Amino acid sequence: MIGDYLGQHDEFSVAVMHAYVDSMDFSGMKFHTAIREFLKGFRLPGEAQKIDRIMEKFAECYCADNPGLFKGADTAYVLAYAVILLNTDAHNPMVWPKMSKSDFVRMNATNDPEECAPKLILEEIYDSIVKEEIKMKNKAINMGKSSWKKAETEEKGGIVGILNLALPKLRSQSDTQSESEAIIKQTQEIFRKQGAKRGTFYTSQRIEIIRPMVEAVGWPLLATFSVMMEERENKARVILCMEGFKAGIYITHVLRMDTMRYAFLTSLVR
């Protein structure tokens, strides 16, 4: 409940979350140590946008307490996500194969060395997380072997839920329907203003039209591609899934949907 509240988007909840994070002192802490301390007090919420807000503030605070370590808060933000992903990958028995140290370093590398964390820091983080799990307040951590076996059967496709906690929670049919209707109405209104004709297809460069579509279908498509990739004997299907990953990564990059893009990249690496 605490994590869910801290991730809310209304003005007061955001102010509470900022005050909570600002009350912490990460000075002189190594990055993985700071995240361990940060996540002791609450469980991360299940919605990607809420995690975004919380981890973005953590990154900003960590950089303010440790000036000069990273070029900017964006680098720390991406690295924070990488640490959570690695924690799930390394310690969830449903995730296989495991990410190697070279995979982790490569996944966090960019064309500009100044924009990403130094290799030595990445390797140190990998060793620390693999050796000792970040114990988040999550019931799944305490599941017994029989429960894991049941969950494994239910998750036969091998997709465990990108962060094991960051894929949006399943919503009720009425919630999904109302959200879809809102997206449709918004798109229809934009097309109406453009004088669009019914039954005609249009190409658009406008983010306000494209982004709601991607928000609606992105996560289900990612799950579909990931599950279908498990059927390795069907080469044609694997090639189609690879095209889907490529398109998803490109579109989410253009739209600056960093959470979803990172999820596509991480799932593809696995």
Residues 6 or more apart whose Cβ sits within 8 Å of residue 164: 88, 92, 95, 138, 140
Q: Which two tokens mark 233?
A: 């004997």
- Active-site residue among 11, 37, 47, 155? 47
CA distance 59 to 72: 9
- Active-site annotation holds for 47: yes
Separation between Cα atoms, residue 202 and residue 193, nearest integer Å: 14
Picking from 36, 140, 27, the residue whose alpha carbon sits closest to that of residue 91 is 140
Distance CA 219, CA 134 (A): 25
Using alpha carbons only, give the angle 56, 59, 62 rounded to the nearest 5 degrees. Answer: 150
Q: Are 268 and 106 in contact (CB under 8 A)?
A: no
* Cβ atoms 99, 86 nearer than 8 A: yes
**Separation between Cα atoms, residue 162 and residue 158, nearest integer Å:** 10
Structure tokens given for 228 = 């279908």
Structure tokens at 2: 């605490």
Alpha helices in 7-160 (DSSP H): 11-22, 31-38, 48-65, 73-91, 101-107, 119-131, 145-154
CB of 218 closer than 8 Å to CB of 248: yes
Name the residues annotated as catalytic.
47
